């Protein structure tokens, strides 16, 4: 059974945006990595990167959405 529900374009956007959300606080560009906002940004970024790499989004599953093409 295939649980993937994240399509190709969605995967790439998640990985790119997630990487940006992780790197910005680490580089001190917008906020400090030790601030609450910096930590929240990195956590959201990690979730986006992981869901992008595994092609599965639990939130999509809950609401019954999918960006993956039907085969």
Distance of CA 52 to the CA centre of its chain: 6
pLDDT at residue 63 in the model: 95
Does position 1 have pLDDT exceeding 70, yes or no?
Answer: no
pLDDT at residue 43 in the model: 97
**6/13 Cα distance (integer angstroms):** 11
Each residue's pLDDT tens digit, 8-66: 999 999 999 999 999 999 999 888 988 999 999 999 999 999 999 999 999 999 999 99
Q: Output the pTM of the full model.
A: 0.89
**23/25 Cα distance (integer angstroms):** 6
Per-domain residue ranges of the chain: 8-63
Does position 71 have pLDDT exceeding 90, yes or no?
Answer: no
Place of tokens 């990167």: 49
């Amino acid at each position: 059974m295939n649980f993937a529900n994240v399509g190709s374009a969605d995967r790439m956007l998640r990985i790119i945006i997630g990487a940006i959300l992780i790197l910005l606080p680490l580089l001190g560009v917008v906020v400090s990595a030790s601030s609450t906002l910096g930590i929240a940004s990195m956590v959201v970024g990690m979730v986006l990167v992981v869901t992008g790499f595994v092609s599965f989004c639990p939130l999509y599953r809950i609401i019954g959405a999918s960006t993956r093409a039907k085969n």
